Amino acid sequence: MSSSPNPQPEDNKLWSFLKSQRENIQSIAVALVLTFTIQTFAAQAFYIPSGSMEPTLLINDRLMVEKITYDFSAPERGQIIVFTPPKNHFNSNDQPFIKRVIGLPGDTVEVKAGKVLINGKPLDEKYIAEPPAYVMPPVKVPADQYFVMGDNRNNSFDSHIWGFLPRQNVIGRAIFRFWPLDRLGPLG
């Protein structure tokens, strides 16, 4: 004669609790899936770890970076972008960088007399910390690559040191600062 085991009172309590929390568990699961999807394909938060973009972005600023625009259009001069730096003898870091797009494919970029020149004409840069205190001979930006620089020209590990940024390394465009609250707002 066989008898089926009687459920223990603890088992019934756990089952009842799980049934009562079913909606909450489903909501959490949906939220996790949406968070993963949005962060992977649409937008992602980043923080600023260095002073290379001062005075525009300060250390510990928190930004929202959207990832969709560059699937349909190319980065434009003056936009602030987040990217994976190219691996070369200057850099083996996988941490994302944030810089401003200065040179577009086909442009000639030069730095002399405290000015950045694009195709021989000085770039109007109201956003920089101070003029560059270095000289860089003219370089032509190859197809599907960009020349990027930090706004803190004299304290930025950027294209003037390590070269051009391949288009495929671009993660997205910085569009909004959400921290600190007193500096909350869109990025131009």
Non-local (6+) Cβ contacts of 31 within 8 A are: none
Active site residue 99: yes
Closest to 104 in 3D by CA, of 119, 90, 114: 119
Rounded to 5 degrees, what are φ and ψ at 136?
-135, 125
**pLDDT tens digits, residue range 108-138?**
999 999 999 999 999 999 999 999 999 999 9
pLDDT digits (tens, 9 = 90+) for 26-53: 777 666 655 555 555 567 889 999 999 9
Q: Mean pLDDT across the stretch 78-103?
A: 87
Q: Reply yes or no on whether the pLDDT at 22 is more than 80.
A: no
Per-residue pLDDT band for 95 (boundaries 50, 70, 90) equals confident
Whether the per-residue pLDDT at 1 is higher than 80: the answer is no
Respond yes or no: is residue 52 known to be catalytic. yes
CB atoms within 10 A of CB 64: 17
Which of 13, 20, 52, 92 is the catalytic position? Answer: 52
- In the set 67, 99, 156, 159, the catalytic residue is 99
pTM of the model: 0.79
CB 173, CB 83: distance < 8 Å: no
Query: Rounded mean pLDDT of the chain?
Result: 87
- Residue 167 DSSP symbol: G
Q: What pLDDT is recorded for position 115?
A: 97
Q: How far is CA 47 from the centre of its chain?
A: 8
Residue 8 DSSP code: P
Burial class (CB in 10 A: 0-12, 13-18, 19+), 113: exposed
